[in-house]
Amino acid sequence: MEKSCKNVYITTPIYYVNDVAHIGHAYTTIIADMLARYSRLTGEKTFFLTGTDEHGQKIAQSAEARGKTAKEYADEVSGKFRQLWDDFDITYDKFIRTTDEEHKTGVQKAFEKMYNKGDIYKGEYEGFYCVSCETFFTEKQLVDEEFCPDCGRPTTIVKEESFFFKLSAYEDNLIKWYEENEDCILPRAKKNEIINFVKGGLKDLSISRTSFDWGVKLPESLNEPHHVMYVWLDALLNYITALGYGTNEENMEFWPANIQLVGKDILRFHSIYWPAFLMSLDLPLPKHIAAHGWWTRDGEKMSKSKGNVVDPKEVADAYGLDAFRYFMLREVPFGQDGDFSQKALIDRINSDLGNDLGNLLNRISGMSGKYFDFKIDSKDVKKYHEKELKEVEDILNNIENYIFNMQLNKYLEDIWKVLTIANKAIGDYEPWAKMKEGKEEEAMALVALITNIMAKVALLLDSVMPEKISKIANSLGIEINTDTYNKLIKNKELIDTTTITKVEQLFPRIEEVLLEQAKVTDISKSEVEEKASKTEEIEEDNLITIDKFFDTTLKIGTIIEAEEVPKSKKLLKLKVDLGEENPRQILAGIKEFYSAEELIGTQACVVANLKPAKLMGMISEGMLLAAKDENGLSLLRPEASKKNGTKVS
C-alpha cells in the first residue's frame, strides 16, 4: 500500500448474505479498520468501504426456503452484519448494499459502457455452475465429473441465453499489469498463482442469467428485461459505485483503491475479473489486492456440524474487543492460515498485553507518583538515555513500511521490541537506587524516558486497540491525533512535561477459558468397547521398533513446479526442491483437493528414501505425506518455513 498518495481508499469484500458473520469476516474487517484508523492518524484523507453482496441464485433459494422474499432475507442478514461492525466500532465511511438503488444504477451504466465499447456480446452459455460459489466451471475443472472443485458440492448443467464479457481480450494486458507492478497482489507468492492461471488461457465470461430474476437488470437501452447480471459483475463494481460511479461521482477522487482486502478463496475474481472490468471501463487499477488466509479452530476446520464455528461477538464480549483485535492481527502473518484457540488468546492477553504493556503503564504510574508527585519532565532524557532513544528510533524508522506492505504481525512485533527496551531500562538503571543515592535528575530522566516510549507506543497501537489506548493516552496526558503523531513519531521529539493519572488495570490476568470449548461428537459406549476390542486384536507383528521407524527419511521440500497429469483425475506432477542438486519429480494423487497453481511455492513433508516408481509412464521419486478424513485431505506442512532438505524427526 502506497503512503505517498493524496487520498487513501480501503475496501473489504462485500460479504455474501447467505449466513451470519464469522471469524473470517471479522478478521478482514478488523484489518481494514486498522489500516483506516492508521491512515487517518497520519493525516491522510481516508475512505473505508464495507458492505454486503445480496443478489444471486443462492440468496433467492435461501430466502424461499425460509418463507421470505429475497429482499426481506437480504435485509435481515445485511442488518446483522452492519450491527456487528457497529458493535465492534468499525470506522467505515460507507456500508454499501448491492440492493441500493445508486449501486444498481452505477452497475447498469458500467454494463452499458462496456457493451458500447464492444467488450460485451450476446451468445449462449452451456456448462457447469455451482450455485453455492456462484461460479461457472469447465468440465476439466470439475471433481469426478460433477462436483465443484472449490466447495465439493454438486454442480448443475446450465444452458441458457447469456451475455459474455470478452475476458480473453484482456489476457496480455493483465499479464503486463502483474509483471510491471511487483506488489499489485499481496502476498507476492499469490501473484505467481494468478499469473500461471492467466497464462493457461482465459475464456470469455458469462455475465448474465435468465433462469432467475434476483439481480440487477440490464440497462433499458438493451431491451433485454429477462436478463439479470451475473452476481460477480454486480458485486465487484461496488468498489466504484460506492464512490458515486454512474451517479453523482462525489467521491471518485478516492479511486484507485490503495488496498482491497479479500480472502484467498476469492482472489481470482478480484485479480482477474476485476482488473479486466476496470480496463474495459478505462479506469485505473487498484494499487494492491491483498489476500489473507483462513482460520481454523484448535487445529480443525470450522463447520456447523462440528459445532466449532467461532462467533467473533462471543469472543469479543468474553475477552474484550481490543484483546481480540490484537490477537487477530498479531497471531498470524498476513496471507497465511491462522488457528484460533482460547489458550493462544489467553497467552497473548496475559503475556503481551498484561505483562509487557499493562504492567509497564503501572510502573510509570507507580514511579512517577512515588518519586515526583506524578509530574514528568523530559528535559534530561537525551542527556542520560541517548542509547535507548537511538534503539527506539532505529526500530520505528521503518515501522510504517510494515503496515503498507501488509506485514501487520511484524509491525506489532517491532512495537513489542520497543516495549522490551523500556522494561529493560528500568532493570538496568534502577530508579529506586538513583533516588536513594540522591540522583533525582537521573531518576526523573529514566521515568521520563519510559513515559515517552509508552506515548510513542500508544500512538502506534491506537489503530489496533483504540479503546484501551485512549485510557493509556489519558493516563499519560497526551492526545491521540495527527499533531501528536507528527511530533513524537515522525519528528522523533519528546513530550515536554506531563502529569500522569492513575488508571484501572487494563488487562486483568485470565486463569481459565471463558467460553465453552468446541463441541466434540459423542462416542457411544458400544463404539468405545468395539474399538477397544479391535485394539486388543492387534498382533505384535504390526508394531515396529524405533530403529525401523528411522529407516524412513522424511524431509521438508518446496514445490517449485506443479501441473496436471493428462488423462488422470487424481494425479499432479510436481517438482520438489529437497535441497539436493536437482529437484525431485513426484506424482501425487491430490488433484481432487489441490490445484496445481496453489501448490507452487508452498512446502510439504516428503518421504525422501522411497524407491522410485513408475506411474502412467512417468517416474515418481518420493511421496508427499497427507492426512484425510471426512472433511477432505490436507498435506502435512511445517508450522513455519524451513530450509529445503530439513529432516523431520
Residue 498, strand partner residues: 376
Q: Within the chain, how many helices (H) and strands (E) appear?
A: 25, 26
CA distances from 91 to 407, 479, 481, 529 (A): 21, 19, 16, 56
The whole-angstrom separation of Cα 239 and Cα 289 is 12
DSSP string, 627-648: EEETTEEEE---SS---TTPBP
The whole-angstrom separation of Cα 224 and Cα 124 is 14
Q: Is the dihedral of CA 115, 121, 124, 126 positive or negative?
A: negative
Q: What values do phi and psi take at 523, rounded to 5? A: -110, 125
Beta-carbon count within 10 A of 219 CB: 18
Residue 15, strand partner residues: 52
Query: 130: annotated binding-site residue?
Result: yes
Query: 5: annotated binding-site residue?
Result: no
The whole-angstrom separation of Cα 13 and Cα 236 is 9
Beta strands in 17-119 (DSSP E): 45-53, 94-97
The whole-angstrom separation of Cα 274 and Cα 286 is 9
457-458-463 Cα angle (round to 5): 105
Instruction: Locate 42 and state its grid cell.
Output: 497520519
Query: 148: annotated binding-site residue?
Result: yes
Give the SS3 label for residue 190. helix
112-114-117 Cα angle (round to 5): 105
Least Cα distance to 20 among 101, 70, 65, 85 occurs for 85
- Annotated binding-site ranges for Zn(2+): 130, 133, 148, 151
